[in-house]
Amino acid sequence: MATKAVPAPKTRPSKSEFKDKEKPAQIRSSNIVAAKAVADAIKTSLGPRGMDKMIQDGKGEVTITNDGATILKQMKVLHPAAKMLVELSQAQDAEAGDGTTSVVILAGAMLETSQKLLTKGFHPAAISDSLLHFSAKAVEVLESMAIPVDLTDNASLLKSANTALNSKVVHEHSGMLAPMAVDAVLKIVDPNKDQNVDLKDIHIIKKLGETVEDSQLVDGIVFTQKSQGIGGPSKIEKAKIGLIQFCISPPKTDMDNTVLIRDYAAMDRVLREERQYILNITKKIKAAGCNVLLIQKSILRDAVSDLALHLLAKQKIMVVKDIEREDIEFVCKTLGCRPIASLDHFTPEALGTAELSEEFQAGDSKFVKITGVQNPGRTVSILLRGSNKQVLEEADRSLHDALCVIRCLVKKRFLIPGGGAPEAELSVKLTQYAHTMKGMDAYCFRAFAESLEVIPGILSENAGLSPISTVTELRNRHARGETHAGINVRKGSISNIIDENVLQPLLVSTSAITLAAECVRSILKIDDIVNVIR
């Protein structure tokens, strides 16, 4: 049972007797073993032929995924050192968005090597220093093998998005999702200026139903709400869009105030006043030329009353209500409109203009889609469909990975081959470099260089190939100077991986190596665990 076998020492220093701390070496090895176990756990989901994990949480919800970061987040590991690895994969997710599995496996391999070195009598600080040197050198080598890429080069971008999607459940749809990711990112960046991409500008809307193939990239905006009101228009060309933050419903008096009626005639007046009040609002809206009205969600009272809907429908104004507070900014940015907080500010200048606003049916639910925005902001929406919740969630995660890959390319415009080629190359180059070094450092260097071969090893193992023969052949090819030789999972052989269109951004690999090295260094430096009891 995994729960019972917590190797973490539970030393409780009691007041009466003095108890010696457990030996630092033991702590270190316990940390390393725990962290390595994490790496082992997700090993099988690396690469295009990686397997999935099924995780059932306490409430019985099931997640099926092979995204390293997601698996680890869901797994709830207990050991503090293991938790560091979990955070490591989260960090990679935030930094690069892809390679979350490889970073953990790399860290695991480095830890294993460190353990061997420790038993040989190396001081942890020496190992740690050498690791720092190692990662800096590794980045250098990676940069030397990188291929510069231009953001206008659609084909290369597509290839790297495809590589990211290949290992996912949804990979049969990669032919459709990859271009979608590329288009989405390219639409929101200015290739000459931007050095980063704010993925918040890509709105991913998940909706259950149909299949992943029916997902679409919308140049404009999609609301999952249906248009309100009965008998109102469901399609408006040359839409003038107003986004209001006030309510169109009878104003509520404050708690203590009441309206007094002394006369029966006043009853009619009350009813008429209400109608007049709402009619007045709707007329003003119409007068400003608005024909599509978006209403922010209100928790205080009905954002829009039935009466108002009826009147708006009569004036041929399309109404979408319940726009979330946090979406307002995105909506404004997309449609080029201003949020209108009071009726007095409802002027034609505040409205956004679009070619078409249309309600359409997808499966059982209805959506409102606004396209052809006149002054579009740099935003884009993706409507993601999936036949069941698991597929939909996984599609979302996969698409996120693909988007991140493209973002990496915007940040750092270099590509390197995938398929274990960079790791094999690093291993060969750094071993060579180690020969030129002196002292203990050289030994550590060589050991770490060897540890990098774990990635191609696992890749080939997951693909059902023999890891030893594949890795040795790979090493041989790289030693002969074939920088781009990698494991061709589809054919089960070693070939020039660039010809196979397996490409990944440089940033993913460099950040994986630096992050993993840093994490391993901090684990190595721990020599005591103190459990504080609350």
Partner 1 sequence: MTAESVLSIQGKRSSGTPVRTENVIAASSVANIVKSSLGPVGLDKMIVDDVGDVTVTNDGATILKLLEVEHPAARVLVELAQLQDEEVGDGTTSVVIIAAELLKVADELVKQKIHPTSIIAGYKLACKEACRYIQNNLTMNTDELGRDCIVAAAKTSMSSKVISIDSDFFANMVVDAAMAVRTSDGKGGYKYPIKAVNILKAHGRSATESAIINGYALNCTVASHAMTKKITNAKIACLDFSLNKEKMKLGIQVLVNDPAKLEAIRQREADITKERIEKILKAGANVILTTGGIDDLCLKYFVEAGAMAVRRCKKSDLKRIAKATGATFLTTLCNLEGEESFEPTYLGEAAEVTQERVCDDELILIKGTSARTASSLILRGPNDFYCDEMERSLHDALCVVKRVLESSSIVCGGGSVEAALSVYLESFATSLSSREQLAIGAFAQSLLLKDATDLVPKLRAYHHSSQIKTEHSQLKYYGLDLIEGQVRDNKKVGVFEPTLSKLKQLKFATEAAITILRIDDMIKLEQEPSKESGYQQALKSGQLG
CB of 89 to partner 1, least distance (A): 14
Determine whether 101 is an active site residue.
yes
Counting contacts by CB under 8 A, is residue 49 touching partner 1?
yes
Q: Does 250 bind partner 1 (CB under 8 A)?
A: yes
In degrees and rounded to multiples of 5, residue 442 shows phi and psi of -60, -40
As a whole number of angstroms, the distance between CA 513 and CA 525 comes to 18
For partner 1, which is the closer residue by CB, 26 or 276?
A: 276
Number of residues that bind partner 1 (CB under 8 A): 78
What are the distances in angstroms from CA 490 to CA 402, 421, 501, 529?
20, 15, 12, 46
Q: Please, which of residues 500-529 interact with partner 1 by CB under 8 A?
A: none
Q: Which run of H or of E encompasses 504?
A: strand 503-505
CA distances from 181 to 192, 259, 373, 388, 413 (A): 19, 57, 21, 22, 17
321 near partner 1 (CB under 8 A): no
Residue numbers 405-444 binding partner 1 by CB under 8 A? none
Question: Is 230 a binder of partner 1 (CB under 8 A)?
Answer: yes
- 401 is annotated as an active-site residue: yes
Span near partner 1 by CB under 8 A; candidates 115-123, 188-196, 262-270, 511-519: 262-270
Interface pattern 111-150 for partner 1 (x via CB under 8 A): ----------------------------------------
287 binds partner 1 (CB under 8 A): no
Taking CB under 8 A as the criterion, which residues in 79-98 touch partner 1? 79, 82
| Choice between 23 and 252, CB closer to partner 1 | 252
- Answer yes or no whether residue 7 interacts with partner 1 by CB under 8 A: yes
Residue 401 CB neighbour total at 10 angstroms: 23
* Neighbouring C-beta atoms of residue 128, cutoff 10 Å: 21
Q: Which residue has the tokens 């190359």?
A: 425
Stretch that binds partner 1, among 19-27, 305-313, 397-405, 423-431 (CB under 8 A): 305-313
Q: Which of 9, 22, 29, 64 binds partner 1 (CB under 8 A)?
A: 64
Closest CA to 54 of 42, 65, 43: 65
Burial 370-396 (b: 16+ CB within 10 A, else e): bbebeebbebbbbbbbbeeebbbbbbb
118 versus 126: smaller Cβ distance to partner 1: 118
Q: Is 356 in the site for partner 1 (CB under 8 A)?
A: no
Q: Which residues pair with 414 in a beta bridge?
A: 148
464 binds partner 1 (CB under 8 A): yes
Q: Which of 116, 120, 123, 272 binds partner 1 (CB under 8 A)?
A: 272
Say which of 52, 67, 93, 201 is annotated catalytic. 67
Smallest gap, in angstroms, from Cβ of residue 413 to partner 1? 33
For partner 1, the closer of residues 60 and 439 by Cβ is: 60
Residue 312 C-beta: closest distance to partner 1, Å? 11
The widest CA-to-CA distance across the chain, in whole angstroms, is: 103
Q: How far is CA 312 from CA 131, 234, 306, 335, in A?
A: 68, 13, 10, 21
Under 8 Å between Cβ of 197 and 407: yes
C-alpha 509: how far from its chain's center? 17
d(CA 35, CA 49): 24
Residue whose structure tokens are 């009826």: 310
Q: Which of 209, 336, 372, 377 binds partner 1 (CB under 8 A)?
A: 209
Among 11, 21, 22, 55, binds partner 1 (CB under 8 A): 55
> Under the criterion CB under 8 A, does residue 253 sit at the interface with partner 1?
yes
SS3 sequence of 432-484:
HHHHCCCHHHHHHHHHHHHHCCHHHHHHHHHCCCCHHHHHHHHHHHHHCCCCC
Task: Write down the least CB distance from residue 88 to partner 1, Å.
Answer: 15
34 belongs to the binding site for partner 1 (CB under 8 A): yes
Q: Which of residues 381-410 bind partner 1 (CB under 8 A)?
A: 387-388, 390-391
Q: Is 76 in the site for partner 1 (CB under 8 A)?
A: yes
Q: Which stretch binds partner 1 (CB under 8 A): 91-99, 301-309, 405-413, 505-513?
A: 301-309
Q: For partner 1, which stretch binds (CB under 8 A), given 40-48, 130-138, 236-244, 411-419?
A: 40-48
241 within 8 A of 353, measured Cβ to Cβ:
yes
Smallest distance from partner 1 to CB 500, Å: 16
Burial, 231: exposed, middle or buried (Cβ in 10 Å; 0-12, 13-18, 19+)?
exposed
3-state secondary structure of 223: strand
Provide the annotated active-site residues.
Answer: 67, 100-101, 401
